[in-house]
Structure 1
Amino acid sequence: MAFVRYFVGDVVKMKKAHPCGSDEWEVKRIGTDFLIHCKGCGHQLLISRPKFEKAVKKIVYRLPESENEHNNN
């Protein structure tokens, strides 16, 4: 399995939909735990890295590389 790197600002599609019906979440914080924000209703969720990586189906949107490097510094 390939290592996938996630960045703050990425929008990911989860395998299961949120009760509001949306399956897209924006990554707000990364580390041991991920803070994700539902694009449908605005609910925020703190989820462990292993659980997050297992639940992600794909990355829907990613900021351009120059903005990712700017956010990390």
Structure 2
Amino acid sequence: MKFEIGEIVRFRKKHPCGDDRWEILRTGMDFKVKCLGCERVIMLSRPKFEKSVKEKVEVKE
């Protein structure tokens, strides 16, 4: 699956704030994503990010 900056993805597990939607801020070897519930920003390695993603919610056009 290919990911681009600005896309919204849904993770398999919910964040402690209760939301499971994340906005992609940076791609590459590491991914920087922002929780849409509490706006916390985290960094994940590419393999961990790809394993965590359940689906794309909004695709950038």
Alignment TM-score, normalising by the size of structure 1: 0.83
Question: Partners in 2 of 1:48 and 1:12 — Cα distance?
Answer: 16
Task: Structure 2: give runs of 5+ residues left out of the alignment.
Answer: none
> What count of residue pairs does the alignment treat as equivalent?
61
The structure 1 segments of at least 4 consecutive aligned residues displaced by more than 4 Å after TM superposition are none
Match of 1:15 in 2: 12
**What is the identity, as a one-letter code, of the residue corresponding to 1:55?**
S
Q: Residue 26 in 1 paired to residue 18 in 2?
A: no
Match of 1:36 in 2: 33
Report percent identity of matched pairs: 44
Question: Partners in 2 of 1:63 and 1:36 — Cα distance?
Answer: 15
The structure with more helix, counted as a fraction of residues: 1
Specify which structure has the bigger relative contact order, considering alpha-carbon pairs within 8 angstroms and separated by 6 or more residues: 2
Q: State the 1:63 CA deviation.
A: 1.3
The structure with more strand, counted as a fraction of residues: 2
Q: State the 1:62 CA deviation.
A: 1.1
Task: Structure 1: give runs of 5+ residues left out of the alignment.
Answer: 65-73
Match of 1:62 in 2: 59
